[in-house]
Every structure is written in structure tokens, then in C-alpha cells.
Chain A
């Protein structure tokens, strides 16, 4: 069973702080990882993608991947109230697979 696990939260951080969102996955041959943001009642919006071990930065967002530990994280610096949403971690398992397996999401609340 290929799974993606996330802490459901809610995770509350004060405005301006760093929010750290974590995700683990079950399959060592996982190829690609994606973070999506989903506002209540809206569709998932792609935030970051990461394929190689290490860090990838895009503005206030940094994705970190550690394939040995089967762990991927998303850091949000200088958190803003507009970052309050559910963050979904997704993985693509296996070279011949194109579907994404999603975690259930972590709800983030940024307190002004």
C-alpha cells in the first residue's frame, strides 16, 4: 500500500513566523513530490515541486526532500494570514505511474 502521511493539524503560527509542514511516504522508489495549497471550498493550487534530495526555494517557500528518510517538508517563511489554508503533500510512486497519491492535508492557521 503506497501511502502519504501528514499531520492533520491544525498548525497555528503567529504572523511573520516560519511554518513547517511535514510529510512522510511509504515507497522508496517515489519519484516526484508536490505541495498543493487548498483554500476552503477551492481546488488545490500547486505551490512547489521537488524531485531531488536537498532544498528547493521559491520566494517564501522552501521544499526539502530526504529520500533516505522518506520525508518531504515545506517551510513557509514570514507567514501571512493569507497563507491560512490546507496544505496537501502528493507523491508519484514509481517510474511507470502518473497518478498522484495525496496525504489528507495539514490545516495551517496564521494568527495576525
Chain B
């Protein structure tokens, strides 16, 4: 696709429910990143994929958070037993390859609200 595509754009759910957020990177981009942005906070790194493997999961805040990537393309971020502090905008980015100088291009994000 022309850009990074994320769905849903908005998600409202009750505390304790599981949610799945989807990211479709730019075609041909092998590196994929998840970040989240909370109100008043900067972007916070969650996890990085190169192909289907995740060499850096250091940003996942708890074991309720997991992510996978299949076919070197689409990625899903899953949050189990959601808590109110999980409310944030979840942003996905992709870059052309595993090269730290390659710029990361962001999708429009999923705004997650936990009631």
C-alpha cells in the first residue's frame, strides 16, 4: 500500500476485555515497529520486528501485551485483560530494512479507550 495502514482507527472496550490491533506496513518494508502515545507523554517504544521475528521486545509493559507478525507483512498487537492505563494511541511504523538510518514511517494509529 501507499502508507502504513492501521485498524481499527478507534476502539472502545471495557476493562478486562482483550483487544487486537492490526498493522499493515508499507509494501516492501521489512522492519516494523509498535509504539504507543499516551496523553502528555512522548512516544513509547513497544516492540520491533525484522521479518517475522521480534529481536527487541524490551518495551512491552507487561505480559498482557504480545505481538506477532506473519508473512513478513501484517502485524497484530494483542492486549489481554485490558486496564484503564492501557488507554493510548497505538502507532505502528515501518522502515525499508533493518538499518538504523532508515526513517520510520508511521500509520495513523489506533486510539484505544478502556472504560
State the A residues within 8 Å of B (CB): 4, 31-32, 34, 36, 42-46, 49, 51, 88, 90, 92, 95, 97-105
Contacts and interface: CB of A to CB of B under 8 A. Distances in A.
Contacts of A36: 106
Given A31-B100, A92-B100, A99-B48, A43 B59 contact: no
A35 to B, nearest CB: 10
A103 B104 CA distance: 16
Interface of B: 31, 33, 35, 40-45, 48, 50, 56, 58-59, 91, 98, 100-101, 103-109
Contact of B108 (A32, A42, A51): A42
Contact of A44 (B59, B91, B98): B91
Contacts of B107: 43
A95 B100 CA distance: 8
B109 A43 contact: yes
A41 B15 CA distance: 24
Nearest to A45: B106
A97 B100 contact: yes
B98 A98 contact: yes
Nearest to B46: A99
A63 B61 CA distance: 33
A31 B106 CA distance: 20
A44 B103 contact: no
A42 B111 CA distance: 11
A98 B56 contact: yes
A101 B43 CA distance: 8
- Considering the complex of A and B, which 10 residue pairs feature the smallest CB-CB distances, nearest first? A102-B43, A99-B45, A104-B42, A43-B106, A102-B42, A92-B100, A43-B108, A46-B103, A44-B106, A32-B101
B48 A98 contact: yes
A44 B42 CA distance: 11
